[in-house]
Amino acid sequence: MGIPSPQEGEFWQTHLSRHALHVFEFFRRIPVPIDPDDANTERAHLIGGHLDMTIVARGQVTVRRMHTWQEDKVGQKIDPFCGVAQIIYGSNTELRAAA
């Protein structure tokens, strides 16, 4: 996963704003180990809720809400595939039999 280089004269904040959601959506779908030191640990999706861009400059801090995942609920595990159409593989005969 990569992003293109900024356009000539483009501010880095503008460049990151344009690509941040795509990057975070990509990583949102990858389950990561809860305990990276334990090979047998449970894996979970850890990116969710909302995406903020925080810019710290001399004398000021700004926070801009870039995205909210409405389907994520406090106290529930993040399911990045909630509401995403699923692809079902199988022959027509198998699919009819399963229906």
In a domain, 3, yes or no: no
**pLDDT of 90:** 56
pLDDT of residue 98: 55
Answer whether residue 29 is part of any domain. yes
Structural domain count of the chain = 1
| CB 77 within 8 Å of CB 70 | no
Report pLDDT for 18: 87
Instruction: Name all contacts of 7-14 with Cβ < 8 Å and 24+ positions apart.
Output: 13/53, 13/55
Any domain includes 26: yes
Cα separation, 65 vs 4, in Å, equals: 23
pTM score? 0.71
- Residue 7 is assigned to a structural domain of this protein: no
- The pLDDT profile of the chain, 99 residues, written as one tens digit per residue, is 577 888 898 888 888 888 899 999 999 999 999 998 998 999 999 999 999 999 999 999 999 999 999 999 999 999 999 877 666 565 566 556 655
Is 2 part of a structural domain of the chain? no
Task: Give pLDDT, residue 21.
Answer: 92
Note whether residue 33 is domain-resident. Answer: yes
What domain range includes position 22? 12-98
| Residue 65 is assigned to a structural domain of this protein | yes
- Residue 5 located in a structural domain: no
